[in-house]
Amino acid sequence: MSKRQTIDTRVCIDDRLGPYDAKVDPTNLWNGFLSPHFTLDTVRKLSARTLEIADEDGFDCMETVHVIDGCADSPSSVHVIEGGTDRDGNRQRVAVHVRWPVIDEDLDQAVSIFKVRPGAELRTTEPAGEGEPRAVVFVVRWEWWDDIEGGEQAGVVYQPDDKGRYAVGAWSWWWRYAGWWCVCGANSDWHETECLCGLTRDGQPKTPLGIAAVKAGLALRTLAPGATSALVDLTDLARVCTVFAGDTEIDTADDTGPFDTETLGWADRILRDALDDASPADLGAAGWEHVPDEESARLYRITFPVPPTH
Ligand SMILES: [Zn+2]
C-alpha cells in the first residue's frame, strides 16, 4: 500500500466558498469531492463566509462554520448561536456547551450542540481562563433543523489533525480544487503550477505587452509549432518581420513558408492593440528586447514560452 501523500493546493465550492489554502490527500475522495484540511486561520475566514451566505440566502440553505476560543484551563462555557427563524417564524438557536477541562482528552464528550427550545432563556457565558489557547470548530446543521430531535447533536464537531488542521466539510461538502487561468487560456488546478504552454502559475506575464507577446506566439505557433521568438518592427504600425525557431529563421513568405497572411496579420493585431497605450519603458519591463539594427531603429525581439518536452 502506498503512503498517503498530501498536497498544498486551494479548494472552493463553486464561487460561493473559497478559494482557500488547504492540504489535500488527492486519493481521499467522496463522490469525487475532496476532504481538505484547513488551518485555524482559514477556518475563521470560512466561518465568516458561511455566516455571510446564511445571512443573505437564509440559514435553511447553509451549514454555518463556527470557532469558539477558550483555554485549556477554562471552566465550562455555554454559547448561544442564532440561526434565523424556522418556517413558523420561531427563532432557531443552538446552545453549544464546551467542557474545556476535558477538551484534550475527549472532544466528543467535551462539546455538545443542542437545539434551544423556543422561548427558553439561555445566555452565552464566555470562557474565562489564561492557560494554553484551545479552539472548538464545528458546523451547525440548520438545513436539517426539522429533522433534528431535541436531544440530538445539531452540529458536527471537527477534531484537529496532527498538524492542527481541521477537515471542515470532509465527506459531506462539495469541495473541489480551485483553479488558475493561464494567459494562454488554459485552466489548471491550483497545485498544477506548470501550464502545457510553458508558462507557470507564478510566472504569468502581468503587463499588457507581456501578455500580448505570449498570445502572438500562440498565434504564430498554430502554423509553426517550433517558433520560439520573433522580431517586431515598431517603426510604423507594429509588424512581425522575422520568426525564429531557436536560432533558425522561419520563412514568413506566405507562398513558401508555413505562415499565411491571416495568421501573421492576427499576430500583428494582437501586438498593436497592446502597444496602443504602451510607453518605451513598458517594452523593456515586459521583456521586449531592443535589437540594434541598421535599417530600423525600432526593432524588438519577443520571446515565447516553450512547452515542456516530454
Ligand atoms: Zn498556458
pLDDT digits (tens, 9 = 90+) for 163-191: 999 999 999 999 999 999 999 999 999 99
pLDDT for 3 equals 60
pLDDT digits (tens, 9 = 90+) for 241-254: 999 999 999 999 98
Q: How far is the CA of 288 from the centre of ligand 1 (A)?
A: 19
116-140 average pLDDT score: 90
Given a contact cutoff of 8 angstroms between Cβ atoms, the answer to whether 259 and 252 are in contact is yes
Residue 280, SS3 per DSSP: helix
Q: How far is the CA of 184 from the centre of ligand 1 (A)?
A: 4
Q: How far is the CA of 213 from the centre of ligand 1 (A)?
A: 13
In terms of C-beta density within 10 A (0-12 exposed, 13-18 middle, 19 or more buried), how is residue 109 classed? exposed
The yes-or-no verdict on residue 127 having pLDDT over 50 is: yes
pLDDT digits (tens, 9 = 90+) for 3-23: 678 999 999 999 999 999 999
Whole-Å CA distances, 78 to 101, 107, 128, 156, 185: 14, 15, 11, 16, 52
Q: How far is the CA of 79 from the centre of ligand 1 (A)?
A: 49
Q: How far is the CA of 304 from the centre of ligand 1 (A)?
A: 11
pLDDT for 310 equals 60
Q: How far is the CA of 275 from the centre of ligand 1 (A)?
A: 22
The yes-or-no verdict on residue 154 having pLDDT over 80 is: yes
Q: Which of 32-36, 219-223, 291-295 has the lowest mean pLDDT?
A: 291-295
Q: Which of 59-63, 66-70, 249-253 has the lowest mean pLDDT?
A: 59-63
Q: How far is the CA of 40 from the centre of ligand 1 (A)?
A: 33
Q: How far is the CA of 37 from the centre of ligand 1 (A)?
A: 28
Closest CA to 307 of 186, 180, 178, 181: 186
The yes-or-no verdict on residue 221 having pLDDT over 60 is: yes
The yes-or-no verdict on residue 222 having pLDDT over 80 is: yes
282-301 average pLDDT score: 89
Q: How far is the CA of 204 from the centre of ligand 1 (A)?
A: 9
Q: How far is the CA of 156 from the centre of ligand 1 (A)?
A: 41
Q: How far is the CA of 280 from the centre of ligand 1 (A)?
A: 27
Q: How far is the CA of 169 from the centre of ligand 1 (A)?
A: 32
Strand locations in 176-298 (E): 176-177, 179-181, 187-189, 229-233, 239-245, 248-250, 289-290
Residue 47 grid coordinates: 466561518
Q: How far is the CA of 89 from the centre of ligand 1 (A)?
A: 53
pLDDT digits (tens, 9 = 90+) for 40-57: 999 999 999 999 999 999
Q: How far is the CA of 216 from the centre of ligand 1 (A)?
A: 13
Kindly report the CA angle at 56 between 54 and 59, in degrees rounded to 5?
30
Q: How far is the CA of 211 from the centre of ligand 1 (A)?
A: 11
* Beta strands 33-34 and 111-115, pairing class: unpaired
Kindly report the CA angle at 157 between 151 and 163, in degrees rounded to 5?
165
pLDDT for 1 equals 44
Residue 307 grid coordinates: 512547452
Q: How far is the CA of 219 from the centre of ligand 1 (A)?
A: 13
Q: How far is the CA of 251 from the centre of ligand 1 (A)?
A: 26
Q: How far is the CA of 185 from the centre of ligand 1 (A)?
A: 6
Q: How far is the CA of 11 from the centre of ligand 1 (A)?
A: 20
86-91 average pLDDT score: 84
Kindly report the CA angle at 106 between 105 and 110, in degrees rounded to 5?
115
Q: pTM of the full predicted structure?
A: 0.86
